[in-house]
Structure 1
């Protein structure tokens, strides 16, 4: 008899796939390093003589950067399972073929060396309590190559997100987006009694920096996130980054284009710029997992404010987000938002409705009085040293919950 229901097995398999993607970062990124080395080796001797740095030296720097990144990832995973799974970097050869499968002493089938780590983490992670009846042979990643590639890209995205949220390098981007939201919160929902602070919800909270900044101001703060990659990262960031600048990342080590200076590629980012463990907070700080519209379909105690940053366009149907924001807020509560409308599902094979700001403004105005509306420029996980940066023209608004009851229901798709 199957120890897991179909729904539980699907969720558990997603967790397995995410952990495997974390573990696979270095081996996958090494393929890019090999491509760089292979291409540079095609240069003539005369061309190589003109280079600032010879191919082997350059690629070994990249490889050591990948090892450092994997060690950071392994620190995250070690905190998940309570075990040390750090990498052995000294003897790592980037040009060596993948290691041969390891033979178990008990005679079981050979396995990928990463699978042992995968099973150790999955069986010990606080995020999941899988039944003991589940065999090791069932704890394996998907064989869907498209899904594997997508998950690996998520890992790379998460590393850049750490730069944005938890380093001095990301201070400008946080100033562009977090600061107006926090100033709006203090202006519209001031703390009158520090013993009973207002409750603030931050949907789509990513790696947890925005809800953390909220709680530092003295508010009760709850983050909400759906992505397992971000949930695992935020769990680590808010619970285990105990000292300033105790970790390092090389977020651009595979970015070979649009460099101004030769060494820009090897920029080292130190994390965190602020260590949550060093700043004792008296207010309540929590993270809630799951789909925003499902988790907050009903709330016992309304929130006093909702802050959303680069969030509205993550919906397949943004009306569901608007209705949910209205449902979780008390009358007179604040919804402050900043972000573009780069709808995440528009370019994929998903059902998705892409609304204009004019349409969204009309719908928001049913349940809110928009008291401030303006356009603000903002970057998102940009490389400040690059010759190419993406800047968004974001809609920023402050809206106050009115007396209109929430009505209507959206179809799920």
Structure 2
């Protein structure tokens, strides 16, 4: 089927600050193996051998075999790194390769590496003197782990709790519209999914037969989702160990070293076989990169979508009023906004380099800087609902504490954290501006 790439008007390579950030993200995936081995096992081995000799000697033998555990951890890091490096190569081809001068590439890459994409791309990155930031390295590690939630069979436990209510709501909306128009096809329902992450919700909505556009600002997520949606060749192509690098709260090493195969489905094959719509899947699914507020508050997107689905998203807003106004702009009159998630206001815990990144990525040629705009506020759920109603919506469904869900949580861990997310559906008033 036709490849579904992320698209957007903004060219990151045309802006020096944006280019620097993009290269740092690429390097964070390229450096995953080296830095994970250093921080995951090298530092721990040094600390282990700093114990009194009789202690580390004891712990080296069964039933402890700590040194064997370090070796196993090294193997699992290599599994994770295979995925990270695949993302690096796909991202390099998509973003950086088209901008490179072929003569310059030939001058810096020895011919013997012509068939080794990873080595070739690494040499180019080294010649460009690219280095990742600590913040981007942490995001790369988190991104690899997130595949467990979105693209493993085992992650379906978390995933279904959060995605199924959205799909049910879309089905109900379609059924209501079909009563008035019996010939209506599912593809006529156009859905926007901001904060698309690794693309699973977008994929699931498309597989259900609806037309869907995903939106994402994070280059980590963009590159990773493009790999999984466009470039995987089969089910279970990669193995990941999302809990291996965290050595706390495990009952056993077996729990720590759990491996999962991803993806649990082959996206292209699944969508090619989808029968929910008369319109082919590749014509019903699109992706857009960029700041949600900047993109969808524009006039060209006014009244474009029949539904907006936000899952674990609205608490990424420094100023949630901007999000509400943006949804109101791009949603058709009588369209529905389906929201599910907690209110873990992200900007409160953001590190300084996150804030610097936001400022550097604010489009200097655009007055509206989206989430980089100054100011922030934290509201309760009741206050968010009141704002939604005040700004042109009618709440038609509300559920609180209906279920609990973790987020990339290890069900075997001694530490369990869970959310009790709010779920609500709001309908845009026809008369709201």
Q: How far does residue 56 in structure 1 lie from its aligned partner after superposition?
A: 2.8
1:401 paired with 2:405, answer no
Alpha-carbon distance change, 10 to 169 in structure 1, aligned in 2, over 3 angstroms? same
Residues 399 and 423, structure 2, Cα contact 8 Å, conserved in 1: yes
Alpha-carbon distance change, 306 to 116 in structure 1, aligned in 2, over 3 angstroms? same
Residues 115 and 140, structure 1, Cα contact 8 Å, conserved in 2: no
Matched residue of 1:206: which SS? coil
Given candidates 114, 127, 130, the residue that maps to 1:141 is: 130
Distance 1:378 1:48 in 2: 37
Residues 242 and 278, structure 1, Cα contact 8 Å, conserved in 2: no
TM-score when normalising by structure 2: 0.77
Q: How far does residue 115 in structure 1 lie from its aligned partner after superposition?
A: 9.3
Deviations 1:345-393 (A, max 9, x none): 1123554311121221111012111111112422111111211121012
Given candidates 256, 265, 279, the residue that maps to 1:274 is: 265
Residues 65 and 253, structure 1, Cα contact 8 Å, conserved in 2: yes
Matched residue of 1:260: which SS? coil
User: How many residues end up aligned between the 2 structures?
Assistant: 357
Q: How far does residue 155 in structure 1 lie from its aligned partner after superposition?
A: 0.8
Runs of at least 5 residues in structure 2 that lack an aligned partner in the other structure: 1-10, 95-107, 111-117, 179-183, 275-279, 356-374
Residues 165 and 174, structure 1, Cα contact 8 Å, conserved in 2: yes
- Number of the residue aligned with 1:306: 308
Distance 2:253 2:93 in 1: 39
Matched residue of 2:376: which SS? coil
1:289 paired with 2:289, answer yes
Given candidates 362, 369, 380, the residue that maps to 2:394 is: 369
- Number of the residue aligned with 2:205: 214
Which structure has greater helix proportion?
A: 2
Runs of at least 5 residues in structure 1 that lack an aligned partner in the other structure: 84-103, 107-113, 123-135, 407-413
Deviates more, 1:373-382 or 1:169-178: 373-382
- Number of the residue aligned with 2:27: 20
Deviations 1:51-100 (A, max 9, x none): 424233221111111111111111222333459xxxxxxxxxxxxxxxxx
- Number of the residue aligned with 2:382: 358
Q: How far does residue 119 in structure 1 lie from its aligned partner after superposition?
A: 6.0
Alpha-carbon distance change, 179 to 64 in structure 1, aligned in 2, over 3 angstroms? same
Distance 1:28 1:80 in 2: 19
Distance 1:23 1:210 in 2: 27
After superposition, residues 1-400 of structure 1 pair within 5 angstroms as 8-32=15-39, 33-41=41-49, 42=51, 44-45=53-54, 47-48=58-59, 51-81=62-92, 117-118=121-122, 120=124, 139-141=128-130, 148-190=133-175, 192=178, 193-194=184-185, 196-279=187-270, 280=272, 281=274, 282-283=280-281, 284-298=284-298, 299=301, 302-348=304-350, 349=352, 351-366=375-390, 367-375=392-400, 376=402, 377-400=404-427
Residues 79 and 238, structure 2, Cα contact 8 Å, conserved in 1: no
Deviates more, 1:47-56 or 1:396-405: 47-56
Which of 1 and 2 has higher RCO (CA within 8 Å, sep 6+)?
2
Matched residue of 2:377: which SS? coil
